Amino acid sequence: MTSRTRYRCVPLFGPPGVGKGTQGGILAHIPGFFHLSVGDVFRSIDIGSPNGREVYKHISRGELVPDELTIRIWRKAVEAYVALSWFKPREDLLILDGMPRNVNQVQLVQEYLEIHKVIYLKCSDEEDMVHRIRRRAIRENRTDDANEEIIRRRFDIYREVTAPVLQQYDPAIIHEVDANGSPAEVLRSILGCLIPVQNELFKAHRVEEDDE
């Protein structure tokens, strides 16, 4: 895959329960954005398949899915969405939720992603996020989010393994968002970062069309 075919992307970054899925779901309804949650992709896999069993083994314990399997499943999902024309890489900005989750994945996805910005959702109250996750588990029947011990294990892994991912990016492209505000306030901050990126992509797309 060459740099010309890399997907133009803005990852949503932050600890479990901070609201990445909520904001990504809202952005998905705005033309020009395509939201992809790697966690949702994992949960959609047939649990009886070899990949499904391997994924469930890890997420049920609050652990990260191995890198090679994560990238393989993610690529297959993206390619399917492109084939269905749900995701149009020439027009859409990929809003990626749930990857990269460790430093090694940062290197692995460089071949596939052109990172324009990183949205870093911050929340100072870990207990509030734990309660959010448990409420979500009940509402959405997420078995991996129902056990508090597993939830807290996910936070430990985030601090030890995922948080260092931010250090791999130029601070100039990291946009910090206070996730303690209302969903609308958080969305406003995110859009303040994304709109200029989308405007640039629209200009580039028009130039490409004019050159054809």
Sequence letter at residue 122: K
pLDDT in tens, 171-185: 999 999 999 889 999
| Separation CA 36–CA 77 (nearest Å) | 9
Residues 177, 20 contacting (CB under 8 angstroms): no
Average pLDDT estimate for 5-18: 93
Tell me how far apart the alpha carbons of residues 35 and 38 are, in angstroms, rounded to a whole number.
10
State percent of the chain over pLDDT 90: 70
Q: Please state which of the ranges 20-29, 37-46, 77-86, 141-150 shows the lowest mean pLDDT.
A: 141-150
Q: Give whole-number Cα distances, 182 to 18, 130, 179, 185, in Å.
A: 12, 18, 8, 5
Structure tokens at 133: 């996750």
> In the Cβ-directed half-sphere of 93, how many Cα atoms lie within 13 Å?
28
User: How many domains, in total, are found in the chain?
Assistant: 1
Measured N-to-C along each axis, helices 67-83 and 50-59 cross at an angle, to the nearest 10 degrees, of 120
pLDDT value for 53: 93
DSSP code at position 31 = T
Tokens found for residue 35 = 């939201």
Q: Which domain holds residue 151?
A: 3-211
Using pLDDT thresholds of 50, 70 and 90, give the confidence band for residue 4.
Answer: very low
Q: Does 210 have pLDDT greater than 90?
A: no
The closest of 130, 160, 174 to 13, measured between CA atoms, is 174
∠ Cα 66 72 75 (to 5°): 135
Summarised one tens digit per residue, pLDDT across range 101-147 is 999 999 999 999 999 999 999 987 788 788 778 777 667 766 666 67
**Over residues 154-177, mean pLDDT:** 95
CATH of the domain at 59: 3.40.50.300
User: Crossing angle for the helix pair 126-140 and 148-157, nearest 10 degrees?
Assistant: 130
Model pLDDT, residue 2: 40
Q: What is the distance between the alpha carbons of residues 87 and 28, in angstroms, rounded to a whole number?
A: 10
pLDDT at 3: 40
Q: How far apart are CA 112 and CA 7, in angstroms?
A: 6
Residue 60 has pLDDT above 50, yes or no: yes
In this prediction, residue 149 carries a pLDDT of 85
